[in-house]
Amino acid sequence: QQSKLNSFLWTIKRDPPSYFFGTIHVPYTRVWDFIPENSKKAFQQSHIVYFELDLTDPYTISALTSCQLLPQGENLQDVLPRDIYRRLKRHLEYVKLMMPSWMTPDQRGKGLYADYLFNAIAGNWERKRPVWVMLMVNSLTEVDIKSRGVPVLDLYLAQEAERLRKQTGAVEKVEEQCHPLNGLNFSQV
């Protein structure tokens, strides 16, 4: 029952009210049917919406990509133990081989090709910091590949906010997300 679900929506009592909604970074289609009506209604009635990051801003995407890279001149092969690096390389070869069979007819109908998708997700992997490679590998599963092309919940809501001509903004800068992850040492990763 929609009315019985936890809404992940908090109200800040003021006039007009403000709301705080907790999202998750998964394709919105996986969770949309479980978001209660009170949350959807609060979004629809809002005039200003702030997100964790502005995922519609090209600078944000570019900065997120840049922050994932190792310092100039370093490669993943230089920082990972040889056996882990080899296992990773073999796994990525396996994923690349399997990717065409993981894609949906709908994805192919939209012009997505397995090689393009693999490069979009794993391209330049040998230059990425280990923590970002770990996150990348975790997203290279059949289930995740089948949902590629569907925006994550945050991006979907940002696109909807733009479509509805709502004022938007972000509460964090890329660096505020990047630096803590890049600060993890190898054993933590």
* pLDDT (mean) for 1-14: 72
pLDDT in tens, 125-158: 999 999 999 999 998 999 989 988 889 999 999 9
Contact by Cβ (8 Å): 134, 189: yes
pLDDT, the chain, mean: 90
* pLDDT (mean) for 29-51: 90
Percent of the chain surpassing pLDDT 90: 57
Taking alpha carbons only, the member of 122, 126, 134 closest to residue 97 is 122
* Sign of the dihedral defined by the CA atoms of residues 92, 97, 98, 103, in that order: positive
* Separation CA 149–CA 143 (nearest Å): 12
- Name the residue type at position 23: T
* pLDDT (mean) for 21-49: 89
Q: Is the pLDDT of residue 2 over 80?
A: no
List the Cα angle 171/177/178 in 5-degree steps.
145
Please tell me the predicted confidence (pLDDT) of residue 166. Answer: 94
Residues 6+ apart with CB under 8 A from 46: 19, 166
Q: Residue ranges of the domains in the chain? A: 2-183
pLDDT band at 3 (very low <50, low <70, confident <90, very high): low
Please tell me the predicted confidence (pLDDT) of residue 19. Answer: 87
* Strand 9-12 to 167-170 pairing: unpaired
* pLDDT (mean) for 153-175: 93
